Amino acid sequence: MENQDHLLQYTIPQLLRWRVHNTGDKVALREKDFGCWNSYSWDQYYVFVRMAGLGLKKIGFEKEDKLAIISDNIPETLYMAIGAQAVGGVSSAIYQTSLPEEIGGILEYLGVSIVFCSDQEQVDKVAEVRGKIPGVKKVIYEDPRGMRSYQTDPWFMSIEELYRLGEEEHLENPELFDKLVEAGKPDDVCHLCLTSGTTGLPKGAMLTHRNYINMGLQLTQVDPLEDTDEYLSFLPFAWIGEQMNSFGVAMASGIAINFPESVETSMDDLKEIGPHFMFGAPRIYETIRSQIWLKIDESYWLNRIFYHYFMKIGEEAAEYRMSGRPMPGRLRLLAWLGKQIIFRPLVNQIGFLRLRRAYTGGAALGPELFTFYQAIGVNLKQIYGQTEIVGIAYMHRDGDVRPDTVGKPLPGTECRISEEGEILSRSDSVTPGYYKLPEKSAELLEGGWLHSGDAGYIDEHGHLVVIDRISDVMHNSNGEMFSPMFLENRLKFSPYIKEAVIFGDKKDYVAALINVDPIVVGKWAEDRGISFSTYMDLSFRPEVAELIEGAVQEINKNSEKPHFKIKRFALLYKLLDMDDGELTKTGKIRRKFVREKYHDLYESLYDENMSEKRVEAFYQYQDGQTTTVDTTIRFYSMAEG
């Protein structure tokens, strides 16, 4: 591919204009409306951006003013954002699901002067906090439905009216827009991207034109895109994952962005568009896999036989493909046959037929899911990055997909692991800091490196492995770092293990309390004629202990570092539960609480002479009744090796 680095000298609006000069009549955007896909060329795209930009200017939007967008995925979102950037302003986006109070707080913090809403639902929320946001001069809306009662109030304005003002201005002053676009510098801040703060108000990461375009160029250097490729915009625009594609990748590569008809129809629209690349959180891929399983299950018997046979072949072939090794001839033939007979039509059904690459990021994805998608011929890859580095900074390369890593840095991205084990990155895409938060910014960019707050290491293949948030990691008595969540996830990848709690902070070794999966292990026991009555009974069967011991053994064998090995474990007599306060509402383990509650067990895990202990098991039933049962818990030590 030709070198595109010269694009870095442009701002986003300038790059848009560059695309207009080069491929003005090519489709840039497409939107499904009234059941039809309507296309907009780069020429038209630019005209809309000009109307929006000049319209904004006409109503008093000046250089460095802030525009906030609260909108579903519609082309107008881009017109407004890039229009604001073209006249020297800064765009920002708020999640459509935000509550009025939240919106008010963000608008105040960012000092927003104009808000763009897609429909009445969002306008209502902004109107509710009107008294608290004196800085907001106008609210512009796209869909006029239900807006009748607002029409007499000059605080609200339809986008049509804004366009009209912009066009008027352009006719009066035809050179103005070009001059404004010309005045932009690539290092100007163009967007404030909110980072998900778990506590308090979110922080606004300042991102420049160069940040976005550089990210797009870096990505397309590794995974080239044709300007005839398609992308479906269905992620919330407030998330960096969507902006990096619409500002960064689309501008840098010239692909077309498609907007679904509505949020509910996006998966159907995906089928109609058949995108060439997509990005999503693990949940999307999990949902699609469940749908495939369901459909195969409902299919007729011949299909099912083919599917199950070729799935095994596909999984085997995927192992070769993911590691980039050449496949033996017989396997290659069978994999090709499987693709033609079952996987091509299957993938076509979900709209992935043209998909060259699918990216997942944001959270860990089980290795079996990677294998599944690679087996049916979808090139699913893990990425890693933060809002502060425009989303993607690390990525798997084709033919080098390792489920437990997040891949290698993109070209132009430097990676370093600090002495505390924190992942540090440096590239042209790193934010200059947080808006109005100099202290936080200094912390973030200490020493010129972006501090991710994540702990990780680089493995022997040069891949980055992300362990956990640095605040959550533990150190053993030798001061060696390990992540309880990382090890717990490893354990939970075993189908027999439902939940696990890892201990070992300031201790000699790692130990675990394990919940067996009642359904899978129950079935396993039934198949082997092992009888059991309750969950407690099942957990205490010696055969089950042996099964889990095997699973732990397997994990220990594959552990990257010797101190990651789980040395002792015990099977818990009850499932960890939210109602008992052992899990948070989102299903995370409340480690401290669990350790206090099962203090006896915790002590015994670190007393290697102890092989069993009598405890009183305390139960609370759903109706509030409690009961106590005397029972004996056994502790298992793993063999060295």
Partner 1 sequence: MTQLLVSDVTLTFGGLNALSKVDITIEPGLITSIIGPNGAGKTSILNCISGFYHPTQGQIHYGERNLTHASPHQISNIGIARAFQNLELFRGLSVLDNLLLARHQNLKYSILHAIIYFGKASRVEAENRAYVEKVIDFMELEPYRKSMVGNLSYGVQKRVEVARALTLAPKLLLLDEPMAGMNIEEKEDIVRFILDLKKEWGVTVVLVEHDLGVVMDISDQIYVLDFGEVIGAGDPQQVASDPKVIEAYIGEE
Which residues form the interface with partner 1 (CB under 8 A)?
33-36, 145-146, 148, 261-262, 264-265, 268
What single DSSP character describes residue 341? I
Residue 21 or 145 having the CB closest to partner 1 = 145
Q: Please give the structure tokens belonging to residue 89.
A: 């302003």
Tell the smallest beta-carbon distance from residue 268 to partner 1 (Å).
7
Residue 530 DSSP SS3: coil
Query: What are residue 466's DSSP bridge partners?
Result: 456
Name the minimum Å distance from CB 224 to partner 1.
34
Minimum CB–partner distance for residue 263 and partner 1 (Å): 9
Q: Distance (Å, rounded) from C-alpha 24 to C-alpha 45?
A: 9
- Token look-up 């509550």 returns 99
Nearer to partner 1, 8 or 267 (CB): 267
Q: Give phi and psi for 187, each to the nearest 5.
A: -95, 5
Min separation Cβ 101 and partner 1, Å: 22
Looking from the CA of 158 toward its CB, the CA atoms found within 13 Å total 13
State the maximum Cα–Cα separation within the chain, in Å, rounded to a whole number: 89
Q: Contact at 8 Å (CB) between 574 and 513?
A: no
CA nearest to 206, candidates 439, 437, 447, 449: 437
Nearest to partner 1 of 173, 265 (CB atom): 265
Give least dist CB 33 to partner 1, A: 8
Cβ nearer to partner 1, comparing 146 with 324: 146
Strand partners, 464: 458
- DSSP assignment of 229-271, as one string? -EEE--S-TTSHHHHIIIIIIHHHH-PEEEE-SSGGGHHHHHH
**Given the structure tokens 């033919």, which residue do they identify?**
399
What 3-state class would DSSP assign to 84?
Answer: helix
Q: How far is the CB of 93 from partner 1 (least distance, A)?
A: 24
Q: Which of 547, 561, 467 is nearest to 514 (CA)?
A: 547
Q: Which is nearer to partner 1, 265 or 340 (CB)?
A: 265
Closest CA to 528 of 551, 517, 544: 544
Q: What is the CA radius of gyration of the chain?
A: 28
Q: 308: buried, middle or exposed (CB in 10 Å: 19+, 13-18, 0-12)?
A: exposed
Q: How far is the CB of 152 from partner 1 (least distance, A)?
A: 14
Q: Per the structure block, which two tokens stand in for 197?
A: 């703060």
Q: How far is it, in rounded angstroms, from Cα 216 to Cα 223?
A: 10
Dist CA 1 CA 226 (whole Å): 10
CA distance 636 to 511: 10
CB of 264 to partner 1, least distance (A): 4
CB 78 within 8 A of CB 12: no
- Distance of closest approach, residue 35 Cβ to partner 1, in angstroms: 5
Tokens of residue 184, six digits: 């932009």
Cβ 273 to partner 1, closest distance in Å? Answer: 15
Q: How far is the CB of 155 from partner 1 (least distance, A)?
A: 20
Class of residue 282 by CB neighbours under 10 A (exposed 0-12, middle 13-18, buried 19+):
middle
Residue the block writes with tokens 């072939």: 317
Which element (helix H / strand E) includes 5?
none
Minimum separation from the CB atom of position 186 to partner 1 (A): 40
Minimum Å gap between C-beta 49 and partner 1 is 25
CA pair distance 525, 420, nearest whole angstrom: 45
Q: Is 437 left (phi over 0), alpha (psi -120 to 50) or beta?
A: beta
User: Cβ 349 to partner 1, closest distance in Å?
Assistant: 15
Taking alpha carbons only, the member of 195, 48, 254, 92 closest to residue 246 is 254
What are the phi and psi torsion angles at 227 (to 5°)?
-75, 0
Measured distance CA(484)–CA(564) in Å, rounded = 9
Q: Which of residues 77 and 120 has its CB atom nearest to partner 1 in the complex?
A: 120
What lies within 8 Å, CB to CB, of 274 at 6+ separation is 230, 351, 352, 353, 354, 355
Tell me the two tokens of residue 221.
Answer: 């250097």
For residues 33 and 600, which CB has a smaller minimum distance to partner 1 in the complex?
33
User: In whole angstroms, how close is the CB of 261 to partner 1 at the nearest point?
Assistant: 5
